[in-house]
Amino acid sequence: MNPGSFDAVTAVLVIPAATAALLAVLPGYRLTSRLNVLAAFLTFLAALSLLVVRPLPGLYLLVDDTNIVFIVLSTFVGFTTSAFSASYIAHELETGRLTPINLRFYHAMYQVLMFAMNLALVSNSVGLMWVAIELATLTTVLMVGIYRTHQALEAAWKYFILGSVGIALALFGTILVYMAARPVVGEGVDAMLWTVLIDHVAAFDPGMLNVAFVFLMLGYGTKVGLAPLHAWLPDAHAEGPTPISAVLSGLLLNVALYAVLRFKMLLAGNSGALAPGPLMITMGLSSLLLASFMLYRRRDIKRLFAYSSIEHMGIITFAFGLGGPLANFAGLLHMTMHSLAKSGIFFAVGHIAQVKDTQKIADIRGLTTGHPALGWGFLIAVVAIAGLPPFGIFMSEFLVATSTIAHQPWLALPLVIGLLVSFGALILRLQGMAFGAPSPQPHKPVSASLVPLWAHLSLVLLAGLHLPAALVQWFQSVARILG
Amino acid sequence: MQMHSLSFDVSHTLAGSLVLISFMMLYQDRLYSLLNVFALHALVLALSVAWQAFVQNAPHLYVTAAIALIFKAIIIPVALHRIVKQLGIHRDIESAVGIGPTMLAGMGLVALSMVLMLRVTAEADPLAREDLAFALSVVLLGLLVMVTRRNAVSQVVGFMSLENGLILAATGAKGMPLVVEISVAFSILIAFIVIGIFLFRIRERFDTVDLQALERFRGEQP
């Protein structure tokens, strides 16, 4: 193994872990928030270096075509969110919603979350990935409850209960995968490694794999926020600190989806096993339809975009369930675009909630006149997430729709209905919030840093206008592996 | 049949009694008795894991057995006892569904897991497949406890019995790596949440751990 390249994978894990320990003991907002940003940036650089030099798979860590997309995306959004978090948290400290002790806890937990997500993405072992996703769940539960209001505690409790049941089911599925692998691969660590499993999967007992996949799909599907297991998601997004909503929507849902995709690849390698497609298509479509109608009844701005996340995760799961190079390509693109656009929206929403001192949609009016930079940024971000051209999400949704029409035309009807309904809901809500006379507001200047928002939006716009050929090739190769 | 050796019989008995104790949880209508039954559940799990460690000659499983014994059979029930006492909810009869339908549903779930697992694992060795069928029953019964109880303490107990089922499955899968790590990870998860109920959160804010009281604070209400 090349020692220099091994360092990059280790760095992706060690930097957040070490920083978390450091942030837990260091006092002071100025220092710790900068350290947080710096650590996230270094992690991102380490992840970028993986693009150039890729280490060989080890016993525990693995970097291949599939997960490198996720690692780079995850560390990038982690970095921009930490920059947003610095300006967001400053305001929360001023208004006294967070105490200095809470802040220390928050920063440490942020890095632990980054560590857990990166570990889940790079782990070569099915069991290690499960432990990492459990750790990520635990840290986000604690962060969601950090404000200790009634609502925050209820949201954290609900998230804990549903999330734990989800990961428990996923563990049962993981054990079944091991049991299926054991007769072929032999006992011990080997029977849990992705690299070994994928080579031998053709000889596994298909019945065991089928049952295992159902458990894994339900378990990790809970974490993806797929209907009917989505109940935790809106509460957790609405009641926690907004940077956490951004990380939840932009990253954690992807990590859980990554786990589902890995197991889907495994099943695709066994001819006797059931096709995972129909299960994913059903869950994806029902999430899309449910969320799109639920969007109309939202009164809380963060809940609105939480439901929009359910909707988009539904589209992505649907696309991967459909399978084939084109649909997988569309799914990957949509996942990337959604991560960027949705976390961008939460950056804007965080500052809007601070400026207006409320999360109620009815009390937010005339953003574009009251706060032009923030308002227009928000407007553009919502237009992007709603799926209008020229943004990247338009392109990926278009690709999903065309590949549906090509393969299974009758599925295109519910898909397009879902897309249109949610589009209508978002534009309807957007009008009220962005235009009209500005609502009266407490006179409190908020120093909002809009750089992360614009960075994300320009990436989404660039992807919509022109996807670099290298990126297209890369997505295409991953799409082929996904089968 | 030759395969019915002593080791098979003992592990079979222990796994079977876990399922029975899970059933006992279903009809406990007092929190104290529920906690006592859970302590018994954890004790039997510890015995079962220790037996697996002995049979499979896998000393690391003794760690998992010790965690089950010390943490889940002693520390957690004692801590929850104190919480229940402090909150004064020990007299509460708190199941959301009647005992009759719950028991029927429990029997249905056990039958389901037997049919499913025994059919699917026809080629696996008999010890592993029956262990797995029992483990799935325990998992599903744990879920049932969580669904039929309103109260946060008994939901946690339901979750812990569910987790006991997972540990049973993991130790029954011969030579599975990371079992100890997984049981430690679960223990941390549970410890956090028990501390959460106990110290600040739910008690301080709600003066009750009844989830119906939590439901009142739904954010969507105008």
The per-residue pLDDT for range B169-196, each reduced to its tens digit, is: 888 887 788 788 888 888 887 887 777 7
Residue of A nearest to B170 (CA): A175
For residue A360, what are the β-bridge partners?
A300
Closest listed residue to residue A401, CA positions, set A482, A285, A279, A261: A285
pLDDT the model gives residue B198: 63
Q: Is the dihedral of CA A178, A183, A184, A186 positive or negative?
A: positive
Measured between alpha carbons, how far is residue A2 from residues A8, A52, A54, A97, A188 in Å? 11, 13, 9, 48, 26
Contacts of B119 in chain A (CB under 8 A): 207
Distance to chain A for B148, nearest Cα, Å: 14
pLDDT the model gives residue A1: 41
| Range in A97-106, A135-144, A374-383, B211-220 with the lowest mean pLDDT | B211-220
Q: Which residues contact A310 (CB under 8 A, 6 or more apart)?
A: A225, A226, A227, A230, A233, A234, A287, A290, A291
- C-beta atoms of B166 and A299 within 8 A: no
Greater confidence (B222 vs B48) lies with B48
Interface probe for B, chosen from A124, A134, A138, A171 (most Cβ of B below 10 Å), is A171
pLDDT the model gives residue B208: 44
Region of A186 on the Ramachandran plot (φ > 0 left; ψ -120 to 50 alpha; else beta):
left
Contacts of B185 in chain A (CB under 8 A): 131, 134-135
Transcribe B5-57 into DSSP letters. -HHHHHHHHHHHHHHHHHHHHHT--SHHHHHHHHHHHHHHHHHHHHHHHHHTT
Rg of chain A on CA atoms, in Å? 21
Give me the residue from B152, B176, B201 closest to A148, CB to CB.
B201
Q: Where are the alpha helices (DSSP H) in A26-64?
A: 29-52
- C-beta atoms of A131 and B170 within 8 A: no
Contacts of B155 in chain A (CB under 8 A): 161
Domain boundaries, chain A: 276-483
Q: Is the dihedral of CA A171, B44, B148, B198 positive or negative?
A: negative
Greater confidence (A426 vs A27) lies with A426
pLDDT the model gives residue A3: 47
End-to-end CA distance of chain A: 29
Residue of A nearest to B156 (CA): A161
**pLDDT > 50? residue A58:** yes
Q: What span, in angstroms and rounded, lies between the C-alpha atoms of A371 and A374?
A: 6
| Average pLDDT in chain A | 88
Domain boundaries, chain B: 6-215
Measured between alpha carbons, how far is residue A444 from residues A91, A448, B116 in Å? 10, 12, 61
- C-beta atoms of A127 and B178 within 8 A: yes
Report the b/e string of B58-74 with b at 16+ CB within 10 A.
Answer: beebbbbbebbbebbbe
How do residues B37-46 score in pLDDT, each as one tens digit? 999 999 999 9
Counting one residue from chain A and one from chain B, the pairs whose CB atoms sit within 8 A come to 126
| Range in A114-123, A295-304, A439-448, B78-87 with the lowest mean pLDDT | A439-448
**pLDDT > 90? residue A66:** no
The Cβ of residue A387 has, within 10 Å, a number of other Cβ atoms equal to: 24
Tokens 């280790």 locate to A10
**pLDDT > 80? residue B206:** no
How do residues A469-478 score in pLDDT, each as one tens digit? 888 888 888 8
- C-beta atoms of A131 and B178 within 8 A: yes
Q: How confident is the model at residue A468 (pLDDT cuts 50, 70, 90)?
A: confident
- C-beta atoms of B174 and A187 within 8 A: yes
Interface probe for A, chosen from B192, B208, B220, B221 (most Cβ of A below 10 Å), is B220
Vertex A350: Cα angle to A346 and A354 (nearest 5): 165
Q: What span, in angstroms and rounded, lies between the C-alpha atoms of A290 and A307?
A: 9
Q: What span, in angstroms and rounded, lies between the C-alpha atoms of A114 and A40?
A: 8
Residue of A nearest to B164 (CA): A168
